[in-house]
Amino acid sequence: MDKSVPSENEAYLMDNLNVLWKRKWLILIPTFILVIAVGIISFFTPPKWEVDVLIQPSKYLTRTEAGRLEEVMVTEPAQIASQINQNSYDHLIASELNLDIREFPELKAENLRDTKLVRVTAKENDIEKAKLILSSLFNHLKSELDKKVEIEIKEIDSQIKSKEIEKLGIEEEINANRNKLNIVKNREKEIENEMSDIKKRIDVLDKEQRSNLKKGNRSDSESLAMLLYSNEILQSLTHLNTLNELISRKKIEEEDITLGIENREEKIKQLENEIDNLNERKGRIDHTQLIKEPTSSLSPVSPKTKLNILIVTILGLLIFTAFAFFVEYLGK
């Protein structure tokens, strides 16, 4: 094969290059005109800045079935972002700020990945206007979300108050039982003192009786005295047994009262722990917060003149190159 003869592919490529060279002005001039037009439009288009905020929705703690405290969002950030993207607040904000809804900027929101934060952006010529809009949006969100948090706080306060009232009632019962316990103990001491006196009396009578028994000849009066001593000793022993039974009952009563006080004290400790847990839940409730104030970008985000010119140049060359080949095809 003769290498001086061009192949079919080389011939096809040369034909295309010839067409491009022949129709170069048909490609370059319209493309140049488009680039100039886009440049002029971008130059006269008012610049827009991007203003954004970071919002953390309200959250609170709740106890799971396993007994652990778990953080719960009042409304999920993704749901809040979806509501904003659906223009749910646009008319409300426009009415509040006396803005024309037709000129209201588009608000875009997203739930930042792996966070509980919502980022909201607005592109606007007037930076201050955009900041006012985002601030108004935050205020509406805060008012809406914090209402649900306040309900949770009121519920916790109600539970704390209920437990404090219960605790106060138990403390009063403990005080009453302690007073009762003191009365029982005093009564025990009285019984013990009375028993001690009776024992001493029995000892005295017993000594006197023994002394009389040692006498050989006793008079009638001494015999009668011995009989009386015996009766008195018997009565004293009977009364002593009665007092013994009474003091046993008092001891049992004392133990019951002491056990009741201990049980009530344990109940108070349990209530105090529950109150502490409720206060912890209340303390860890977060209202809706503005993590980042409305902040504008350092430079305008639109129009992007260089990018627009680059895109138009590429598209213009592609479109008018295709048009040039079409014209060449028609010419043949």
What's the rounded Cα separation, in Å, for the pair 163 and 165?
5
- Choose the weakest-confidence range: 78-92, 102-116, 191-205, 207-221: 207-221
Residue 249 CA: distances (Å) to CA of 64, 183, 314:
48, 14, 107
Preceding amide of 303 cis, omega within 30 = yes
Residue 294 CA: distances (Å) to CA of 23, 49, 135:
53, 12, 7
Mean pLDDT of the chain: 86
Partners of residue 50 on adjacent β-strands: 123
Q: What's the rounded mean pLDDT across residues 62-77?
A: 78
Structure tokens at 259: 């056990």
Structure tokens at 50: 């991007």
Percent pLDDT > 90 in the chain is 43
In 3D, which of 58, 14, 5, 39 has the Cα closest to residue 288?
A: 58
Residue 206 backbone dihedrals phi, psi, to 5 degrees: -65, -40
- Choose the weakest-confidence range: 42-46, 132-136, 252-256: 42-46
Residue 322 CA: distances (Å) to CA of 11, 90, 309, 314:
19, 45, 20, 12
> Domain 49-149, what fold?
TATA-Binding Protein (3.30.310)
Asked if domains 49-149 and 159-283 share a fold, the reply is: no
Report pLDDT digits (tens) over 278-312: 888 888 888 999 999 999 988 887 777 788 788 88
AA letter at 17: L
Cα three-residue angle 17-21-26, rounded to 5 degrees:
125
Q: How confident is the model at residue 173 (pLDDT cuts 50, 70, 90)?
A: very high
pLDDT at 204: 81
What's the rounded Cα separation, in Å, for the pair 234 and 232?
5
- Burial per residue of 217-234, b for 16 or more beta-carbon CB atoms within 10 angstroms, e otherwise: eeeeeeeeebeebeeebe
Residue 28 backbone dihedrals phi, psi, to 5 degrees: -75, -45
Structure tokens at 260: 């009741």
Report pLDDT digits (tens) over 252-277: 999 999 999 999 999 999 999 999 98
pLDDT at 62: 73
- Choose the weakest-confidence range: 96-100, 195-199, 224-228, 247-251: 224-228
Q: How confident is the model at residue 216 (pLDDT cuts 50, 70, 90)?
A: low
- DSSP SS3 for 124: strand
> Where do we find the tokens 């008195």?
232
Q: What's the rounded mean pLDDT across residues 1-9?
A: 57
Partners of residue 48 on adjacent β-strands: 302
pLDDT at 1: 46
pLDDT at 54: 95
- DSSP SS3 for 329: helix
Q: What's the rounded mean pLDDT across residues 35-62?
A: 84
Percent pLDDT > 70 in the chain is 91
**Residue 279 CB: number of other CB atoms within 10 A?**
13
Structure tokens at 161: 């108050």
Class of domain 159-283: mainly alpha
Report pLDDT digits (tens) over 138-148: 999 999 999 88
Partners of residue 286 on adjacent β-strands: 59
pLDDT at 215: 61
The domains of the chain are located at 8-45+307-326, 49-149, 159-283
pLDDT at 168: 95
Is 200 exposed, middle or buried, given 0-12, 13-18 or 19+ CB atoms closer than 10 A?
exposed
Asked if 146 contacts 265 with a C-beta cutoff of 8 angstroms, the reply is no
